[in-house]
Structure 1
Amino acid sequence: MKQNFTVRQGALDGVAVFLSVAQHRSFRKAAAELGVSPSAVSQTVRMLEERIGAALFVRTTRSVGLTEAGERFLSRAKPAFEELVAASEVARGLGQRPAGLLRLAVPRAIIPILLEPLIASFCKANPEVEVELAASKELVDLAAEGFDAGIRLGQFVAADMVAVPLTPPFRLAIVGSPGYFAQRSPPQRTDDLRQHACLRWRRSDGALALWSFNDNGHAVEIAVSGPFIASDFPTMLGAAIEGMGLAQVPEPLAAEGLRAGNLVRVLDAYAPMMPGVFLCYPDRRQIMPKLRAFIDHVKSRQASDGDPRETS
């Protein structure tokens, strides 16, 4: 059965004063410790007693003692208050220096090409920060799921998010393996894709993503068909390398395969430009030092690499 309860406004008011009086058994010594007048201490204790509904101290002209109610209140209030003070110190520490757990929601595809070197150097520079990468294709609610920030393609960054560029804009590349093209002629126009096996990507909402093109400055989307559907770009790219068909993937993902000769690029003239990859977080006013340190580290790395994104 659910219990009904309320917390009175100002329930902790006067507790610190009570603990000081109880420790010193003196209103005057408590006042000196707290930097207030004895009358202010006496008034605060009276208000606490009225709120509780019981006398906490026995006062004489010569001494101050605890009542039974005061003893019981002290036994429970002292450790609880000390725990609250300790909790405040821990929270204050996280609010004043880069420390604690930095949780980032990221697409799995970008971890090896973008985050691995960045995270390694960040952790070395900030030993009090632990970094957790939660790889998912879902566009999670960052605040509701307890993430400090997310990393997303620019077209998926919500308008109410603060966004910091991690990469410059890039194109979507259509690639296939040399083995695949040994059996078929490379497409010359987008209409030629009807004659090709096109590997597809299923979005987190369940829909199959259309292929995007830039046709003389006009954005065009085409539904393609093929033998394989993946839920992320690395899997689709791997299938393309194995010769299963053509894949449309972000240009940075295909770069290594193109350099190694495992992939061939086609339809370059129709490749659309994407905004790039961004670090995004909900509210600039609520940013913690650990996230600020990560953002500063990103910008520092970009500046040292001569990247124009440093002025984001």
Structure 2
Amino acid sequence: MDVVGEGLDLALRVRPPPLQDSDLVLRTLAERRQCLVAAPELLQRLGQPGGPMDLSAWPSLDMGGLQETHRWVLHGPDAVRAEVRHQPRLVTQSMLALRDAALLGAGVVQLPSMFVREDLRSGTLVQVLPGWEPRSEIIHAVYASRRGQLPAVRALLDHLAQSFRTLSEE
């Protein structure tokens, strides 16, 4: 997306750090932590994985396209890093569809922690391999310049920053 070329006031983006240098002004709104989750019934049926590499043989779900290589990069105790390649039974661009499939016991999925927070609290989803986490992402707003910024855009940015701060604290 070309913020300047398309004449946009601002754009919201989510991506892993580090953020690329740009001529755009960037305002970080929140860190979006990720986690691996599954329905408790799946873990009851398959048992607890002994480590990240065990997950390569488990049923999985993933975001993306069909032609992509599907992998989870997990960071564990003592800064150990594990790359787990998997063959998802469902690939989609919809986090909602992935969450729903996980709730039905279709497989393990990586989703933003804030997206599955209530499911984890209620026990309808459980974290897989606690202590091993996918890389966090940064939610940020980008815009062309502070100069000439409309008051409504500035107010929206302030509101988004406060809202994400509240979400992160819950």
Shorter-chain TM band: 0.7 to 0.9
Q: Note if contact 2:53-2:84 (Cα within 8 Å) is conserved in structure 1.
A: no
Asked if residue 212 in structure 1 is aligned to residue 73 in structure 2, the reply is yes
The alpha carbon displacement at 1:170 in A equals 4.1
2:120 is matched by which residue type in structure 1?
L
Secondary structure, aligned partner of 1:181: helix
Q: Which position in structure 1 is the counterpart of 2:86?
A: 224
Query: Greater helix percent: which structure?
Result: 1
Of 59, 64, 67, the match for 1:197: 59
Q: Which position in structure 1 is the counterpart of 2:43?
A: 181
1:163 is matched by which residue type in structure 2?
L
Query: Greater strand percent: which structure?
Result: 2
Secondary structure, aligned partner of 1:180: helix
Of 254, 279, 298, the match for 2:141: 279
- C-alpha deviations, 1:141-191, integer Å up to 9, x for none? 233344321222242754213222222x34321000122223211223111
Q: CA distance change for structure 1 residues 218 and 141 in 2, over 3 Å: closer, same or farther?
A: farther
Identity of aligned residues (%): 24
Distance 2:160 2:34 in 1: 24
2:144 is matched by which residue type in structure 1?
P
Q: Which position in structure 2 is the counterpart of 1:152?
A: 13
Q: Note if contact 1:170-1:273 (Cα within 8 Å) is conserved in structure 2.
A: no
Root mean square deviation, CA, Å: 2.8
1:164 is matched by which residue type in structure 2?
R
1:202 is matched by which residue type in structure 2?
G
Q: Note if contact 1:202-1:208 (Cα within 8 Å) is conserved in structure 2.
A: no
Q: TM-score, normalised to structure 1's length?
A: 0.46
- C-alpha deviations, 1:252-300, integer Å up to 9, x for none? 1111111222101111211134143112223333522221121233445
Distance 1:259 1:240 in 2: 15
Structure 1: give runs of 5+ residues left out of the alignment. 1-139
Q: Which has the higher contact order (CA 8 A, sep 6+)?
A: 2
How many residues are treated as equivalent by the alignment? 165
Greater than 4 Å deviation, 4+ residue runs:
299-303
Q: CA distance change for structure 1 residues 282 and 209 in 2, over 3 Å: closer, same or farther?
A: farther
Q: Which position in structure 1 is the counterpart of 2:27?
A: 164
